Amino acid sequence: MSHSINQEQVDFAQHVRTTCHRLNNFLTILQCQHEHLAGLPSSQLEPELAVVLQDLEPLVDTAANDVLELSKQCRDFLEGVIHPDTSQKLD
């Protein structure tokens, strides 16, 4: 039994790591877009900003969903660690 719990913990840690890498990639894209927009003359800023925001929309949605899902999974994981008897009874 403890082997499967350890494997579940390893799998969860890998999932957290993968999600954090995806979020870091998203933040890198935001930083690059910020630097790109900062270098534009003011006359080009508004039209370019509209394009950038349109391109970022699906990435923002994905990142928001990743954060929400990871938050829920972390809460569930911590509840299982803090109250392991409760999670055992639910199975």
Q: Where are the alpha helices (DSSP H) in the chain?
A: 2-38, 42-82, 84-90
| Residue 91 confidence (pLDDT) | 42
pTM of the predicted model, to two decimals?
0.76
Has domain 1-83 been given CATH number 1.10.3470?
Answer: no
CB-count exposure of residue 22 (10 Å: 0-12, 13-18, 19+): middle
**Sequence spans of domains, the chain:** 1-83
Encode the chain (91 residues) as per-residue pLDDT tens digits: 455 668 888 999 999 999 999 999 999 999 999 999 999 999 999 999 999 999 999 999 999 999 999 999 999 988 887 776 654 444 4
